Chains A and B, each alone.
Chain A
Amino acid sequence: MKRVRLSYPYVFVWMPIFIIAPMLFVLYYALFRDGHFTFEFVKQVFADTTYLGAFWNSLWIALATTAICLLIGYPVSYILSNMKKRTAALVSLLFILPMWMNMLLRTLAWKIILAKWGQLYTPGAVLIATIYDFLPFMILPIYTTLMKLDKSHIEAARDLGANGVQTFLRVVLPQSIPGIISGVTMVFVPAMSTFAISTMLGGGEVVLLGQKIEEKFLSGSPGVIGVGSTLAIVLIILVIISMIIMNKVEKNNGTEGGTLW
C-alpha cells in the first residue's frame, strides 16, 4: 500500500469538514447578512479606529513574546544541545512538564503570583504569562535542529582557527535557522490570536483581537457575528502574511524546510 493513501482521510474528510468548511462559514458571515451580500461589516471594521487598539495590542504582544521567547529559548536550546544526552533529556522534560498541565490552570497560577507583585491587570501581566505559555514551543524546535547539527562542522571550524564566537555565528547559527523559523512561527501565530490569557489577566485593560472576536461571536446576534467574522478574516490574513514572510526568510537562507520539531 502506498503511504500516500494514509493521508486520504485527512485530505478528503478531515480538511474539508473541519478546516475548509468553517473558514467558508466565517467568510460567509463576514460578507452576508440575512442572505444578502453586504460590505457593511467590512466597512464597520475598517471605517474607524475602534479595532485599531485591539489589533495593535495583539501585534505588539505577539512580537514581544516571540522576541523574548527567542532570546531566552535559543541559549537554553544551545546549552541543552551541548549537554550529555541523558541530562539533556531530563532538563528538556522540565521545560515540557508545565505543558502537561492545563493552560488555564497555569494562567490561574500566574494570576496569584502577579497579584502578589501588584502587576495583575496590566499589559506586563499578559506578556509574562504569554511568554511562559509559549516558551516550550520555541525551545523544542531549536533544540531539535541543534541536536541534529553535525558536531564535526564545529570541530572543523575550530581546527581552521575560528574562535568560539566565529564558530557560533558562521557555523551553528546559520544551520539552526530552520529551527528558529519553526519556533518563531509556532510562537507568533498562536500568540497573535490568543485571548484566554488576556481575558484572565488583562482585566479589560488589555484587549486583544482574539478577545474581540470571541466577544462578538458569543453575542449570538447575526449583525454582531458579522463584525466578529470580519475581524477573524483580518486575523487570518495577518497570519498568512507573517507565514509568507517567514517562508521567504527560510528560502533566502537556502536551507531545507520541514523541520518543525
Chain B
Amino acid sequence: MKKTIAIVLAAVMAFAILPLLAACNNANTVNLLNWGDYLDPELIDAFKQQTGYTVKETNVTSNEEMLIQLDQDDCPYDMCIPSDYAVERLIAKGRLAEIDYNNIPNIKYIDKDLLEKCEVFDPGNKYSVPYTWGILGIMYNTKLVDEADLGSWDLLWNEKYAGQIYMYNSIRDSMAAALIKCGYDINTDNEAEINEAADALIELKNKNIVQAWLTDDVKDNMVNEDGAIALVYSGDAVWSMNTEDGGNADLSFFVPEEGSNIYFDNIVIPVNSKKKDIAEQFINFLLDPENAAKNTEFIGYSSPNTEVAELIDEFFTGNPAYNLTDEEKARCEIFRDLGDKIEMYEKAWDRVFK
C-alpha cells in the first residue's frame, strides 16, 4: 500500500514539473498571454505561414493574473493584452518594453482619437497598442423593458423590474455604475462617496431588485431571457445579440446618459522579452486591416482600426453595442489604477456582500 502511495506521489510530482519544462521554448516561438477566445486561431496559422513563427497562446481570466505573471523577472511571455489600468500599473513598475513603431507601420490604421484617450494611462503611447475597446453599459430585452424607462443608470435601480436585473460580480464595474448614479467620479478616492455608492448597491440587494450578481453567466441568462436588464461591457452585449452565434435578436444596448467607463485592452511587450522584434512583427500583422477585420468578427469587441468598419459584416456596424458613437465616447472615463486606495473599495464591497 505504501509503495503504491509513493508511486502515485512520484507521478503527481512529475506532473507538477511539466509546466516548468513547457516554459523552455524554441527560437521560432513567441508566447502570448491572452484572455480566452480573444484571438482568431486562424490568424495564428496565417502568421506562421507568412513568417514561419509560431505564436503560442496561454489564457487567463483576469487582469490580476496577467499582472502576477508579468511581474516576474523570468516572465516567459513576449506579448500580453491587459486592460488600461493594468497597463498603467505595469508601466509604473517598469515591466513593459518601449515599442519600436518603425516595426509597426500599420499603426497608421489606429484611430487617432482612441490613441489620444490611451494617453491617460500610457502617455505618448510608448508601451501599448490598442487591441479592442468598449464601454460599460446596460443591455436590455426590448420585449420586456419599456422604452420610456431607458437612458439612465436609474434603470438598474428601477423596482418595476425587480428580480429581472443582473449586476456584475466585479468590484470596479458595479461600483462604477453606483458611483455615477450617485453623481461621483468612477475613480474617486473619497471614502464618503465610495460608501454612498456601496449603500446604493446594498439597496439593490435589500429590495431584491437584482436577481443575481454574476460574471460570464450574465450573457447566457440574458440570451435565455431569464432576466431583462444587465450591467455589461459592450463587447459582451455584441456577443449576446449575435444570432449567428446563438444570441438573441431582442437584446439591445445603451450607454447611460450620465456617462460611463470606457475600457481598452492593449497589446504590450514585457520588458524581458527576448523576441521583441517577432512580437512587433505579430502586432503589425494584427493591425493589418484584413486581419483586424477577421479578428473582430471572431471576437465581437469594437476594433480601434479605422479600416475595419468597411470590411466587417453589417451586423456589427449596425449594432449599438459595437458601433459606439463619438458622443458616447466623450461621455466616458477610463479606469485609473487606484493602487492601495482599492482597499477602500474592497471594504465597501464587503459591506455589500456580507
Contacts and interface: CB of A to CB of B under 8 A. Distances in A.
Are A and B genuine complex partners?
A: yes
Contacts of A115: 226
B6 A6 contact: yes
Contact of A200 (B65, B217, B226, B350): B217
Nearest to B166: A203
B6 to A, nearest CB: 4
Contacts of B212: 120-121, 203-205
A3 B2 contact: yes
Interface string A171-203: 000000000000000000000000000011001
B353 A207 contact: yes
Contacts of A100: none
Interface in B253-301: none
Interface residues of A, number: 34
B340 A223 contact: yes
Given A9-B10, A50-B354, A204 B214 contact: yes
Nearest to B214: A203
Interface stretch (A59-67, A75-83, A145-153, A213-221): A213-221
B351 interface: yes
B244 interface: no
A3 B13 contact: no
A224 B64 contact: no
A204 B13 CA distance: 37
Contact of A220 (B6, B68, B343): B68
Contacts of A28: none
Contact of A3 (B3, B205, B350, B354): B3
B100 interface: no
A239 interface: no
B15 to A, nearest CB: 12
B346 A219 contact: yes
Interface in A45-63: 49-54
A205 B352 CA distance: 10
A39 interface: no
B2 A14 contact: no
Interface residues of B, number: 35
A221 B342 contact: yes
A200 B218 CA distance: 11
A197 to B, nearest CB: 13
Nearest to B220: A111
B346 A220 contact: no
B193 to A, nearest CB: 19
Interface string B62-83: 1011011000000000000000
B340 A218 contact: no
B214 A53 contact: no
A10 B64 CA distance: 32
Nearest to B64: A220
A20 to B, nearest CB: 15
B211 interface: yes
B16 A224 contact: no
Contacts of A227: 346
A50 B349 CA distance: 10
B213 interface: yes
Nearest to A206: B353
Contact of B9 (A14, A50, A205): A14
A227 B343 CA distance: 10
A204 B68 CA distance: 26
Contact of A14 (B13, B169, B353): B13
A204 B351 CA distance: 13
Contact of B169 (A6, A204, A216): A204
A53 B171 CA distance: 19
A56 B282 CA distance: 51
A51 B64 contact: no
A7 B6 contact: yes
A224 B226 CA distance: 34
A203 B220 CA distance: 14
Interface in B2-19: 2-3, 5-6, 9-10, 12-13, 16
A13 interface: yes
B2 A218 contact: no
Nearest to A10: B9
Given A200-B217, A218-B62, A220-B68, A13 B13 contact: yes
Contacts of B339: 221
Looking at A3, A115, A220, A222, which has the most chain B CB atoms within 10 Å of its CB?
Answer: A220
Contacts of A218: 62, 64-65
A205 B167 CA distance: 12
A203 B216 CA distance: 11
Contact of B3 (A6, A9, A50, A111): A6
Given A9-B9, A115-B226, A50 B213 contact: no
Contacts of A13: 13
Contacts of A204: 167, 169, 205, 210, 212-214, 353
| 4 cross-chain pairs, A with B, having the tightest CB-CB distances, nearest first | A203-B212, A204-B213, A6-B6, A53-B354
19 contacts: A6-B3, A6-B6, A7-B6, A50-B354, A52-B354, A120-B212, A121-B212, A203-B212, A204-B212, A204-B214, A204-B353, A205-B212, A207-B353, A212-B350, A216-B346, A218-B62, A219-B346, A221-B340, A223-B340
Given A3-B3, A204-B167, 11 more contacts: A9-B10, A9-B13, A14-B13, A54-B354, A121-B211, A207-B354, A216-B346, A219-B342, A219-B346, A220-B68, A227-B346
